[in-house]
Structure 1
Amino acid sequence: MMHQEHNIPWNLLASNFTFIREDRRFTPPRTGFLTKNRATQEGDLNHFVKSMANMITTFSLTKREKYPSNYQPPTDGKIFSDSLRDRYPHYLNERNQLLEHWISWSRPMPSGEAMYSSSDGQLADVVKILINENELQALLMLAEHPKIPLGHLRNLSWGHHFGFGRVAESAIKAYVLFNLIVATHTLENASYKYSQEYANFLKDNAAIFDYPAQNLPHIEFLGKVVTYDSPVETFPEVHHDLPRFREYLKLCFSLLY
């Protein structure tokens, strides 16, 4: 049931890990996935990473071919539809819907080139929504527009990173972790719920903090927000609806390309 298991060697990845409950080599005892330190581990993991990267690249190139190679940059107009705006009222509004706002909001660097900064997290969240919703035409227009320095919104931080690069970071954490959980047979018996890896995932991908739009697809799937002090007994369980779980894995993969 691993996603893309015919192209991504999940079983090879899983063969290098073992699930241990309350490992008393740690204080306090740790539950989760530990490496087996096999002699072939480095080669196995390198092969896994290359296989997965190749799949993402292949899907990305195929998807890009569906759209024009160049865009004539507009100077005004709506970037996204009113219906999308109304679905995300906390992130999208009539102001950031307009291309003119994006152009006027950028500031000049000493070189004269336009820039965005860490004070523009609200624009980064708009980009995250567009990625989550597969609004590729709007994203390509923004990326190629000469007056919109979209790349500056990829990595923004003030103590933590909240640029739109977080979409792929959050998605790949979920995608690898849950496929590993399936491959190690810790899904059906709910053992995953008690792992340190699942706790770390929830407290990063299911939390609300500054500019958290990258977490919206994960919170929607999990059905709740998780805080840093949430006890394990309250962690959401994902193994009860397997068709929905499979759709979530598919979504996570799509966010990588």
Structure 2
Amino acid sequence: MAHQAHNIPWSLLASNLHWSTVGGPNAIKNVTNLRPSMKPNQGKELTYFVEAFARNIEDHSLCEREKYPLLYEPADPTDLILDSALVQKITPTVRKWLSEEDQTNFPMEFAMYITTKRNANVFPSRMKREKHWHFCGRLVKTLILHDEMNAILRVCALPGVRLQEWWENSECPCNPPLLGWDQIALKALRAYICLNTIYCLPEIWDYSSGRNTESDYRNSKFYQYTLRTCTGTGQVSEVSAYPHRQFFGIGDTQLGGEFVSPKITGEKAHWVLIPNGRHPKTKYYSLEYDHYSKLSIGDFLTLEDDSLPGWQTGQSDIALVQDYLYRKGLPMELVLEIMSLAKYEPLGRLSEPHDPFHSSNQEELAKYLKNCW
């Protein structure tokens, strides 16, 4: 059953979509996707779905807000916002995004805020320098990912800290707004809608219901676009992609982000090039990449980084190898050391890699959808 199926009419949404493969006049390869069925009542039914979905988000948001005090007294500048337990909880995530920073723009002494300045002063009323905003923005997103809403609500009560203005932001007006904490919600919403919609169409994910190579949800533009835009790299702040990379098993630099053109070379490149308008002087067509659904999921995952193996270790593979070594008479401590040295470990949380709807992944998929919600 899809998540929140008793409140959100997922089946109604899915009934207005159909699986089809089409090719345009300039297409080198056909594109498979879920497309509108153009039913007579489609407009009314989709409007009903959108309204029910939005209403459910609002109702649950109000319910979550009731778990915390209605009003917060402004904290004193010396009051502790990040206590020791909270710091210990978020430290692995903070270390990850600190390690990704260019130290010329983000000096390590400022990064030490997380251990030396844990009081209200960590959120200055005015961001005097760009690095202040970057640090505080990442910190807020980290707190959201770890469900530390009490700390965020205390920050909201600080004089002059206009957290709502951080919802959508960019480095400059010429760049896409990818720095705000809205990215947490957008990626979660995108993955949530994609996977729940697919769940209502078993013929594209369940072999007993008709799934085959031609009708595999992973080869659709819908799924591949969601996968890349939720897990891709290339953004100044990538905190919002962390939970999705962990679930789908995507490396930190494996896929490009939403506004990053894929760097594709080799024999696969010509499959995904499309004309993009004729140059006014040369009369030649310029080319850009539109690679979604033009490759199988295996080729798609290695297209932008061919150093990655097409096959990935799963939980079942690890258990099998451990059992083989244990049967040879090796003590468990040595077995675990061998596995560690060989780096024989899964990249993500799925028992069967790169197939969220595999029967062995049901529990992790349910957890992921709940976390997205």
Q: Name the TM-score class by shorter chain.
A: 0.7 to 0.9
Q: CA deviation at 1:117?
A: 6.8
Q: CA deviation at 1:208?
A: 2.2
CA distance in 1, matches of 2:183, 2:194: 16
- Which residue number in structure 1 is paired with residue 289 of structure 2? none
After superposition, residues 1-257 of structure 1 pair within 5 angstroms as 1-20=1-20, 22-25=21-24, 27=27, 28-74=29-75, 75-76=77-78, 77-79=80-82, 81-88=86-93, 89-91=95-97, 94-96=112-114, 97-103=118-124, 106-107=127-128, 120-158=133-171, 159-160=175-176, 161-185=178-202, 186-188=204-206, 189=211, 191-209=216-234, 210-225=236-251, 226-228=254-256, 229=262, 232-233=297-298, 235=301, 236-240=354-358, 241-253=361-373
Q: CA deviation at 1:13?
A: 0.2
Amino acid at match of 1:141: R
Please state whether the residue corresponding to 1:163 is helix, strand or coil.
coil
- Which residue number in structure 2 is paired with residue 112 of structure 1? none
Return 184-193 or 203-212, whichever deviates more. Answer: 184-193
| Aligned partners of 2:247 and 2:368 also within 8 Å | yes
Amino acid at match of 1:120: W
Q: Deviations over 1:64-123 (max 9, x none)?
A: 11111111121232335221242221347541544212126524xxxxxxxx97972332
CA RMSD of aligned residues (A): 2.3
- Which residue number in structure 2 is paired with residue 113 of structure 1? none
CA distance in 1, matches of 2:135, 2:233: 14
| Aligned partners of 1:128 and 1:213 also within 8 Å | yes
CA distance in 1, matches of 2:357, 2:88: 32
Please state whether the residue corresponding to 1:31 is helix, strand or coil.
strand
Please state whether the residue corresponding to 2:18 is helix, strand or coil.
strand
| Aligned partners of 1:106 and 1:149 also within 8 Å | no
Taking structure 1 as reference, are residues 35 and 117 closer, same or farther at Cα in structure 2, changes over 3 Å only?
A: farther
Return 148-157 or 165-174, whichever deviates more. Answer: 148-157
Please state whether the residue corresponding to 1:48 is helix, strand or coil.
helix
Q: CA deviation at 1:193?
A: 0.7
Q: Deviations over 1:4-59 (max 9, x none)?
A: 11110000000110112x32356231111111111211111111111111111111
Return 90-99 or 54-63, whichever deviates more. Answer: 90-99
Q: Which 5+ residue runs of structure 2 have no aligned equivalent? A: 99-110, 257-261, 265-294, 302-353
User: Which structure has the bigger radius of gyration?
Assistant: 2
Q: TM-score, normalised by structure 1?
A: 0.86
CA distance in 2, matches of 1:246, 1:46: 27
Amino acid at match of 2:81: K
Taking structure 1 as reference, are residues 104 and 61 closer, same or farther at Cα in structure 2, changes over 3 Å only?
A: closer
Please state whether the residue corresponding to 1:32 is helix, strand or coil.
strand
CA distance in 2, matches of 1:119, 1:244: 36
Please state whether the residue corresponding to 1:103 is helix, strand or coil.
coil
CA distance in 1, matches of 2:249, 2:162: 35
Amino acid at match of 2:161: I
Aligned length: 244
Q: TM-score, normalised by structure 2?
A: 0.61
CA distance in 2, matches of 1:10, 1:118: 42
Identity of aligned residues (%): 25
| Aligned partners of 2:126 and 2:160 also within 8 Å | no
CA distance in 2, matches of 1:33, 1:219: 24
